[in-house]
C-alpha cells in the first residue's frame, strides 16, 4: 500500500515538473498596440473637454462585463458619477492616507454640465471597473455590475 502511494506521488511529481519555458518578449510596436487598445478617449469639441482613460483591460471589461448602453438612465449615471468624483478628488488630496499610485489626478466633473450619455456611461463603468479591480469602495456604494 505504501509503495502504491509513493508511486502515485512520484508520478504526480514527474508529471507536474516542466522544463523552463522561454517568455516571449514584446517589441515596442506590440506594446504600443496593447496600450492603444487599452486607451479610451472621449472628446466633445463644443464643450472643450476630453477624457482619456488608460487602463489595461478596461476596454475588454467594458465590452464583455459591463451593462449595455441604455441600461442606466443618464440622470442615474450623472448622480453616481458626481458622487464618485467627489470621493475620488478627496482621495487625490490625501496621498498619505490613500495610495497615490491609484489616485493620481483630480477629475474635473461638474454638476449642471451635460456631458452626454456616452461620457457618463464610460466614466461610470470606469469607476465600477476601478473599484472591482483594485478592491476600493468609493462613496459608500458596493460596486456591482
Which residues, in sequence order, are bridge partners of residue 49?
44
- Closest C-alpha among 52, 55, 73 to residue 131: 55
Q: Which residues of the chain have pLDDT under 50?
A: 1-24, 26, 31, 34-35
Q: Is 82 within 8 Å of 39 (Cβ atoms)? A: no
CB-based burial label for 72 (10 Å; 0-12, 13-18, 19+) = middle
Q: What is the DSSP letter of 21?
A: P
Locate 39 and state its grid cell: 486607451
Distance CA 19, CA 88 (A): 46
Distance CA 83, CA 40 (A): 22
> What pLDDT does 43 receive?
63
The Cα-based distances of 71 to 24, 42, 75, 78, 122 in angstroms read 41, 20, 12, 14, 13
Locate 95 and state its grid cell: 496621498
> What pLDDT does 129 receive?
95
> What pLDDT does 54 receive?
84
> What pLDDT does 42 receive?
63
Amino acid at each position: 500500500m505504501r509503495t502504491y502511494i509513493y508511486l502515485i506521488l512520484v508520478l504526480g511529481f514527474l508529471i507536474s515538473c516542466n522544463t523552463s519555458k522561454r517568455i516571449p518578449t514584446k517589441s515596442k510596436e506590440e506594446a504600443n498596440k496593447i496600450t492603444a487598445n487599452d486607451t479610451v478617449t472621449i472628446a466633445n469639441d463644443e464643450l472643450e473637454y476630453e477624457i482619456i482613460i488608460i487602463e489595461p483591460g478596461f476596454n475588454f471589461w467594458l465590452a464583455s462585463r459591463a451593462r449595455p448602453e441604455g441600461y442606466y438612465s443618464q440622470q442615474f449615471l450623472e448622480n453616481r458619477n458626481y458622487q464618485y468624483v467627489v470621493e475620488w478628488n478627496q482621495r487625490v488630496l490625501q496621498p498619505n492616507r490613500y495610495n497615490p499610485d491609484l489616485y493620481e489626478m483630480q477629475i474635473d466633473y461638474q454638476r449642471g454640465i451635460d456631458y452626454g450619455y456616452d461620457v457618463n456611461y464610460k466614466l461610470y463603468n470606469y469607476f465600477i471597473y476601478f473599484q472591482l479591480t483594485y478592491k476600493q469602495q468609493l462613496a459608500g456604494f458596493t460596486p456591482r455590475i
